[in-house]
Amino acid sequence: MNIASIALPRIFRIGGGASKQLPEVLASLGLSRPLIVTDAYLMSSGRVAELENGLAAAGIAARAFADTVPDPTVASVDAGVAFLKAGEHDCVVGFGGGSPLDSAKAIALLASHGGAMADYKAPHVQDAPGLPVIAIPTTAGTGSEATRFTIITDEATDEKMLCPGLAYLPVAALVDYELTFTKPVRLTADTGIDSLTHAIEAYVSKRANPFSDGMALLAMRAIAPNLRRVCGDPMDAAAREAMMLGATQAGIAFSNSSVALVHGMSRPIGAHFHVPHGLSNAMLLPAVTAWSAPAALHRYADCARAMGIADEAEGDQSAVARLLDELAALNRELEVPGPAAWGIDAARWEALVPTMCAQAAASGSPANNPRVPDVEEMAMLYAQVWAG
């Protein structure tokens, strides 16, 4: 019997100004002592103060931990746990991009269950919940507000640990596109391609199901026509709203199916070379899609049709050719740098390829790909991405 296991946040508030409903959402959940987990930029820009003022007006006192780091580490999460334990908190509010949201999930888990983050990495699945997490994303990209995963870097081994399970699924997500107006273009482009990657991989994954398919196709329809628009005009409200909704739909899609080879190969690039996650996905997406497409031609053709770049009546082979052209064009037009242009040393890249292949395989994501690579094939793809 083929039964898909579907899990979603209990509460979604989606639309402009949704973040202002945090006090009401906390009250509906019987929560009153939140720890806000965020980053230094959102703290210095006054965004956290706006959130705290809204809570204070409702009689809710909050503390904020703003020492999260890009690609959160074991040390940064441990610091957050210590900060939480110094207060009397009954929940964690993740406020920011993927890194603060992932940090919030990990802090909420360890505060309840203890141990080290490495104890929870795949293949371990952590379903028993920690403290409730309320997620408020400020970037249209990771979809972390709707997923049952967190990713934490082990600084000792330079491994991005994929930690799966229902424990990481926020109980509520407040999806407010108005928080994305001030995002710089580079971040807008990289997080946008990240969410497009989520949708494509969820749809072609071996673990796809009718529910995740529907969400993935909706996400592609929202993201594809608006990614260039929002990079060209950051104040385009309709495009920002579509990108934010698409990112959440893509998060729902891959959380309820899986990501695949792009993500498996992307995490080690981020861990070893500190490339932002969306950017490392963008570097890989055209080459990995071209390599994978022959194993799921119809599925990739469906992606091209959902993205509006192939006609419904067009044959699969032609539609996939259009998809590959579009992914290359996106990288070119949005000025996605390759590894060399990003400043990665060629000798170090080459030396780390065997380690990156091993870490990618260990994450389990490549096994979900329609065409599953061996180590030599992954090494070939890393070489192809380097060559551009």
Tokens of 130: 């920690």
Residue type, 338: G
Across 130-158, average pLDDT: 94
Which pLDDT belongs to residue 363?
87
Question: Which residues, 6 or more positions from 78, have their beta carbon under 8 angstroms from its beta carbon?
Answer: 110
Please provide the average confidence, as pLDDT, over all residues in the chain.
Answer: 96
**pLDDT, tens only, 318-355:** 999 999 999 999 999 999 999 999 999 999 999 999 99
Question: Helix axis angle, 261-273 relative to 277-292, nearest 10°?
Answer: 140
Q: Tell me how far apart the alpha carbons of residues 225 and 244 are, in angstroms, rounded to a whole number.
A: 13
Instruction: Flag whether pLDDT at 310 surpasses 90.
Output: yes
DSSP calls for 177-189: GGGGTT--HHHHH
Are residues 168 and 105 in contact, defined by beta-carbon separation less than 8 angstroms? yes
Which pLDDT belongs to residue 138?
96
Q: What's the start-to-end Cα distance of the chain, in Å?
A: 44
Among 53, 57, 56, 78, CA closest to 67: 78
**pLDDT, tens only, 265-285:** 999 999 899 998 899 999 999
**pLDDT, tens only, 14-71:** 999 999 999 999 999 999 999 999 999 999 999 999 999 999 999 999 999 999 998 8
3-state SS, residue 73:
strand
Question: Which residues, 6 or more positions from 81, have their beta carbon under 8 angstroms from its beta carbon?
Answer: 107, 110, 111
**pLDDT, tens only, 223-239:** 999 999 999 999 999 99
Are residues 272 and 358 in contact, defined by beta-carbon separation less than 8 angstroms? no
Longest dimension (CA), the chain: 61
Rg of the chain's alpha carbons, rounded to an integer? 20
3-state SS, residue 6:
coil
Which pLDDT belongs to residue 387?
87
Q: Tell me how far apart the alpha carbons of residues 22 and 26 are, in angstroms, rounded to a whole number.
A: 6
Instruction: Flag whether pLDDT at 1 surpasses 90.
Output: no
